[in-house]
Amino acid sequence: MNQQVVRRFWLFWAVFGLYAGALAQPPGGPVVVSPQVNADNTVTFRLLAPGAKDVKLNAQFEKAPVAMTKDAQGVWSVTTAPVKPDMYPYSFVVDGISVADPKNSAIFPNEGFQNSVVEINGSTPLVHSLRNVPHGTVSYRYYTSPELGQRPVVVYTPPGYETDTKTTYPVLYLLHGTTDVEETWTKVGRANIILDNLIAQGKAKPMVIVMPYGRAYPTISKSSGSLRNWDNLQAFKKDFMGNLFPFVEKNYRVKKDKDSRAIAGFSGGGGETLYLGLNNPDLFSWVCGFAPGMLKEEFDRNNATAFANPTQTNQRLKLFWIGVGKEDGLYPIINDYLKVLDEKKIKHETLISEGGHTWMNCKLYLSTIAQKLFQ
Amino acid sequence: MNQQVVRRFWLFWAVFGLYAGALAQPPGGPVVVSPQVNADNTVTFRLLAPGAKDVKLNAQFEKAPVAMTKDAQGVWSVTTAPVKPDMYPYSFVVDGISVADPKNSAIFPNEGFQNSVVEINGSTPLVHSLRNVPHGTVSYRYYTSPELGQRPVVVYTPPGYETDTKTTYPVLYLLHGTTDVEETWTKVGRANIILDNLIAQGKAKPMVIVMPYGRAYPTISKSSGSLRNWDNLQAFKKDFMGNLFPFVEKNYRVKKDKDSRAIAGFSGGGGETLYLGLNNPDLFSWVCGFAPGMLKEEFDRNNATAFANPTQTNQRLKLFWIGVGKEDGLYPIINDYLKVLDEKKIKHETLISEGGHTWMNCKLYLSTIAQKLFQ
């Protein structure tokens, strides 16, 4: 190598090495592409881990972790069977430690674990596939809580919101699950893309979607368990009613009647949804639980107002909707809950789907209710 | 345990296990909090990895990886010495594999490696500290490229943008480094918070900041190396000029004269910045390179227009600014470049800082130039 080439080589590694210092893999190693979605809907996953003894793929389209094999350069890989088109969380299990895919910037935002996300589009666009249609805006905002400080919230405004400045919109409050954060509904649930597509097809009304952070941190510790725990529920309710709700009504062109307000949520956020939604019939006419977390003793707590006068409840609620997968661990208790609703003659719609407690089902549930809300 | 307690126990683990299935750690394990920033500015990092043989902390405030120790429950931990307040990328190195902190939802968005981010605030708020001041909006948008499809861009609009609907604003195009993505400048560079604070203090003009994705993917592969590589530079320029620029001018209330347009970028995006900024003096009067990536043979390429008529260049440019750290691998070549600028009598300002090729320096550089732009 002549001097210039030597210098360039040195410079490249000096800079790359400094920048990617935390990568802890040898410079000059093999180029690793992962995930690689193939034309036949198989997926090739790769991880450079020359020192690892055992690497598995843990993907939510597989029933169990799948062994990966190492090549001479230390790259572990596996190519799956054809995968049903959808968007799935996955991770690698390296000698027992779960890690996200370092080559994939599509991350599952979460404060309890690290997953990556892979999208298999197939030949027909899905309801959550990014397409060339008018797109809404996803805004990251802060509002102020006297107790909790600066609180993050993600807000979807539909296509045309910025230009149709006389139009007001109905609003959906959409809550994430336990250990998720305010951007999980867009990044893993694709709420914005689902609405873009359904609005473009005339199947959903243009609406604003408000996605707050469901944990009353720092009052409630991030390691304090379910969002449904009583202390979090109380602190979150206070923040929701006292700070978030006024922030939204002041800063967004949302309609201010209860028939133009919906609340929905997944898992622990589904528990929050039933508690806030059913006990505040003056605020919300549309209440949707996506595999809502609950224990039997919460039935009355969540439904105190609704159970007190079923006739009035049925008149007030435009939609009370519950979705759950048959393989979800919550399926038995949600079934018990649905029986109680029948006994009490509380009107409700259900979607009992395939699958488990997953974000694949969340996308299905959101795309289902989005076509019912405000219609 | 009575039947109800048994049932609740089973339900909890069924649901939690399904949801956090990819976590690959035993249910019922210890509660792990990480990172924990202590009152004396030390930080305790923890990782549950009972099967690991060696775990180190790789943090950008340390000169080298630091050993962590395992307790009886399999939790590895280390408490650092007091850390200079700032926001730093870090990872854990588990038996040679770099992993982000699974308990920390603050992720470094990147397509080449995985890091987490920890913030040590200290007793005095820093320029990037989230404070109770009016906040701008960070919007995630898509624009359409005929060649590249739906392209992501993150846009900061200053406090009051939504309500002062007659006001137009100057605009800064802000480019990330190689392997970064469109949200790295907000999530690791805190561009929005820095501007919120400087605007609140009257030190920066309210401005719009446009943060595009700097790789012309899928035309250019994600594994094709630096953003400055010629093919990417050409495809990115085409997208920037043909699609992004018209999208911004159409959809945002930005001033449309060159004196109201700035371009800045870090590392590979700094190379893109010099190439686009200096060769298009009709578009940008403010050009800032943050440790801009370059090779000697790029000097002329980036500066062809500027070098052709230094007097005119100096008249046209309101600011030509270069920042670099003394420990940056690019420091020698940027020094060579600055000498050429002196020889050619091209006016420029410099900030030669401490530190290396880091996002700590990026925050310093952005907060420095934000107080000069459009003044």
Share the mean pLDDT of chain A: 92
Check CB contact under 8 Å for B107 and A111: no
Spatial distance between the Cα atoms of B339 and B360, rounded to a whole number of angstroms: 26
Contact B14 A330 (CB under 8 A): yes
Q: Does B22 lie at the interface with A, CB-CB under 8 angstroms?
A: yes
| Contact yes or no for A150 and B135 at CB 8 A | yes
Are A18 and B267 in contact (CB < 8 Å)?
no
Cβ neighbours around B366 below 10 Å, total: 28
- Give how far Cα B343 sits from Cα of A149, B121, B277, B296, B348, Å: 52, 43, 20, 15, 12
Query: Which segments of chain B belong to CATH 2.60.40.10?
Result: 24-120
A359: Cα separation from own chain's centroid? 6
Q: Which of B18, B139, B140 sits opposite A357 (nearest CB)?
A: B18
CA dihedral B80, B81, B86, B89 (to 10 degrees): -30
What is the rounded distance in angstroms from the CA atom of residue B204 to the CA atom of residue B7?
A: 59
Higher pLDDT, A289 or A21: A289
List where CATH 3.40.50.1820 sits in chain B. Answer: 137-369
A101 Cβ neighbours under 8 A, 6+ residues apart: A34, A35, A45, A47, A90, A91, A92, A116
**A21 pLDDT exceeds 60?**
no
Strand partners, B150: B144
Are B151 and B220 contacting, i.e. CB atoms less than 8 angstroms apart? no
**Distance of CA B225 to CAs A29, A48, A181, B89, Å?**
13, 17, 32, 21
d(CA B353, CA B75): 38
State the fold for domain A137-369: Rossmann fold (3.40.50)
Q: What are the structure tokens assigned to A141, written together?
A: 């905002």
Check CB contact under 8 Å for A19 and B104.
no
Q: Would you state the pLDDT for residue B23?
A: 33
Reported as a pLDDT band with limits 50, 70 and 90, residue A13 is very low
For chain A, give every residue range classified as CATH 2.60.40.10.
21-120
Q: Supply the pLDDT for residue A303.
A: 86
Q: Which fold has domain A21-120?
A: Immunoglobulin-like (2.60.40)
Q: Is B21 on the interface with A (CB under 8 A)?
A: yes
Q: Which candidate from B111, B137, B144 shows the least CB-CB separation from A103?
A: B111
Residue A99's pLDDT is 93
Give the angle subtended at the CA of A63 by the CAs of A60 and A67, to the nearest 5°: 90
CATH 2.40.110.10 is held by the domain B24-120: no
Identify which of A200, A24, A185, A48 has the alpha carbon closest to the alpha carbon of residue B98. A24
Backbone angles phi, psi at A76, to 5 degrees: -85, 140
The mean pLDDT of A157-185, rounded to a whole number, is 97
Choosing among A142, A144, A155, A360, which should be mutated to test the B contact, i.e. which has the most B CBs within 10 A? Answer: A142
CA distance A54 to chain B (A): 12
Q: Residue A55: closest CA among chain B residues belongs to which residue?
A: B97
β-bridge mates for residue A149, sequence order: A145
pLDDT band at A28 (very low <50, low <70, confident <90, very high): low
**Among B31, B295, B329, whose Cβ lies nearest the Cβ of A223?**
B31
Q: Quick one: which of A281, A285, A318 has its CA closest to A302? A: A281
Structural contact between residues B322 and B289, judged by C-beta atoms closer than 8 angstroms: yes
Cα distance between residue A196 and residue A129, in whole Å: 10
Report pLDDT for A42: 98
Q: How far off is chain A from B242, nearest CA to CA, in Å?
A: 17
Q: Which of B12, B55, B94, B97 has the most A C-beta neighbours within 10 Å, making it the best mutation to test the interface with A?
A: B97
Quick one: pLDDT at residue B82? 98
Q: pLDDT digits over A332-364, tens only?
A: 999 999 999 999 999 999 999 999 999 999 999
Size of interface A-B (CB pairs under 8 A): 225
**Rounded to whole angstroms, how far apart are CA atoms A107 and B155?**
20
Q: Choose the weakest-confidence range: A5-14, A56-65, A177-186.
A: A5-14
Q: Tell me, what's the ipTM?
A: 0.92
Q: How far, in Å, are A311, B301, B308, B320, B351 from residue B278 at the CA level?
A: 71, 10, 11, 9, 19
List the structure tokens of A175: 């809550």
Percentage of chain A surpassing pLDDT 70?
93
Q: Which of B164, B144, B175 is nearest to B275 (CA)?
A: B175
- B191 in Cβ contact with B209 (< 8 Å): yes
The stretches in chain B having pLDDT less than 70 are: 1-28
State the distance between the two ends of chain B, measured CA to CA, in whole angstroms.
71
Helix (H) or strand (E) segment spanning residue B216: none
Angstroms from A261 CA to nearest CA on chain B: 22
Task: Give the tens place of pLDDT for each residue, A68-96.
Answer: 999 999 999 999 999 999 999 999 999 88
Share of chain A above pLDDT 90, in %: 88
- Per the structure block, which two tokens stand in for A357? 């407690």
pLDDT at A312 over 90: yes
A 230-289 near B (Cβ less than 8 A): 251, 267
In terms of phi and psi (left: phi > 0; alpha: psi -120 to 50; beta: otherwise), the region of B96 is: left
What is the structure's pLDDT at A200? 98
- Least Cα distance to A132 among B212, B150, B217 occurs for B150
pLDDT tens profile A182-225: 999 999 999 999 999 999 999 999 999 999 999 999 999 998 99
Look up residue A123 and give its DSSP letter: S
